[in-house]
């Protein structure tokens, strides 16, 4: 799992749509879909259910997204802390 995949998954959840998420991330939708499929294969769960109205997290996906949201917040805090160290 990469930080990029974490960002992609969280953005899809936020947007509720692969197309909207790809626009927000400035990437093409097939790239986003491929990255999420690779992530789902790696972790062994289906994160999202695709519907005609967009995407919704599965039950397992909801738990996974909560976990990576916490991880990503902590990651950002660490990066801010040590990015500030470079400038002192």
List the domain range (segments joined by +) for residue 38.
Answer: 3-86
Answering whether pTM is above 0.85, one says: yes
Going residue by residue through the chain (88 aa), what tens digit of pLDDT does each one get?
999 999 999 999 999 999 999 999 999 999 999 999 999 999 999 999 989 899 999 999 999 999 999 999 999 999 998 886 665 4
Please give the helix or strand (H or E) that residue 73 lies within, else none.
Answer: helix 59-86
Residue with tokens 């695709």: 50
The CATH number that applies at residue 16 is 1.10.10.10
Helix axes 18-25, 29-43, angle to 10 degrees: 110
> For the chain, what is the domain count?
1
Three-state secondary-structure class, residue 26: coil
């Amino acid at each position: 799992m990469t930080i990029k995949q974490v960002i992609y998954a969280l953005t899809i959840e936020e947007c509720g749509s692969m197309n909207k998420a790809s626009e927000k991330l400035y990437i093409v939708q097939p790239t986003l879909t491929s990255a999420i499929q690779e992530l789902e294969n790696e972790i062994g769960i289906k994160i999202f259910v695709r519907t005609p109205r967009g995407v919704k997290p599965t039950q397992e996906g909801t738990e996974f997204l909560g976990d990576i949201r916490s991880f990503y917040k902590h990651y950002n805090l660490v990066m801010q802390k040590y990015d500030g160290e470079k400038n002192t």
